[in-house]
Structure 1
Amino acid sequence: MHETRSIRVPLAVVLGLFSATAFAGGIALIAGSLDPSLGLAITPPPELLEGSLFDSYLLPGIVLAVVLGGMHLVACIMVLRRQPHADLAAVAAGFAALIWIFVQMVFIPFSVLQAVYFGAGLLEIGLVLLQLGVLRGERSPRLAG
């Protein structure tokens, strides 16, 4: 990874916050689907799943916590440890976030949280592009041909 501390730190913060909230949201969806009395205020109504592949929020909750939260956690750790493919992991996590929000918006009406998380995914990708020098018009040594 092209080392730029001023970009690496905010990237790790965004990835870490995304991971923590994805895990918490996934747990809320799982808890709400297993026991509706445990459903938190952020658990969408089950009627929103009508016409989807899901009859409860159990599987979406597992995917949110494990896949999306896990990808962001792994990317965050890789960025903090300056692992060689941390930029790839961060971009993959950012694209996963965008895909999650696109799919979610098919079934769930627009909410401000969707815009926030879509923006966070774009921010992750943008920070990696800055780190690689792509948005500054530089050519990264790894991208140079």
Structure 2
Amino acid sequence: MSIPRLAGVALLVVQAFVAVTAFLGGLALTLGALAPSMATAFSPPEDYLAGTPFTSYLRPGLLLGIVVAGTHTLAFVLVLRQHPWAVLASAVAAFAVLIWIFIQMIFIPFSFLQAVYFVSGVAEAGFVMVRLGLFTRIPRAA
């Protein structure tokens, strides 16, 4: 299997992981905000919202579930179909998760999941660069 093809498979795996878990996380935050009795161990403490523009996890949950999961789902489908815009969609998805994590780290104390999604976003960006051929061997001048 060639390196760009392997990068494509790895990209699909990362995109599927982020899409599914971001959707489920967004759903958990949204349901927890709409029905506090449904808040689970996956919902962060309300104290984390102090000093943020949010009074509940409703908007962050919707953003996570729609924007982060949505961009990853779209990128996944485009990569799977080898669409001409697949690389662009993958780059947008990588930046979406990285921006999400950077903003989250400003307000919420560090957690292992932040590291997991930061690494996912960086890996995704790296796979995009491989697919663009940015790491091909440059021939030496004679």
TM-score by length of 1: 0.90
Aligned-residue offset at 1:134: 0.6
Counterpart in 2 of 1:74? 74
Counterpart in 2 of 1:141? none
Written as runs of structure 1 = structure 2, the 5 A alignment for 1:86-97 is 86-97=86-97
Counterpart in 1 of 2:40? 40
* Matching residue's letter, 1:14: V
CA deviation vs aligned residue, 1:40-90 (integer Å, no higher than 9, x gap):
111100111011100000000000000100000000000000000100100
SS at match of 1:83: coil
- 2:132 matches 1:119: no
Counterpart in 1 of 2:30? 30
* Matching residue's letter, 2:96: A
Separation (CA, whole Å) in 2 of partners of 1:40 and 1:79:
34
Separation (CA, whole Å) in 2 of partners of 1:42 and 1:105:
17
Counterpart in 2 of 1:9? 9
* Matching residue's letter, 1:25: G
SS at match of 1:4: helix
Counterpart in 1 of 2:63? 63
Aligned-residue offset at 1:137: 4.1
CA deviation vs aligned residue, 1:80-105 (integer Å, no higher than 9, x gap):
00000100100110011110000001
* Matching residue's letter, 2:51: G
Separation (CA, whole Å) in 2 of partners of 1:45 and 1:7:
37
In structure 1, list runs of 5 or more residues that go unmatched: 139-145
Separation (CA, whole Å) in 2 of partners of 1:64 and 1:8:
24
In structure 2, list runs of 5 or more residues that go unmatched: none
Task: After the TM superposition, list the runs of 4 or more consecutive aligned residues in structure 1 that deviate by more than 3 angstroms.
Answer: none
* Matching residue's letter, 2:11: L
* Matching residue's letter, 1:8: G
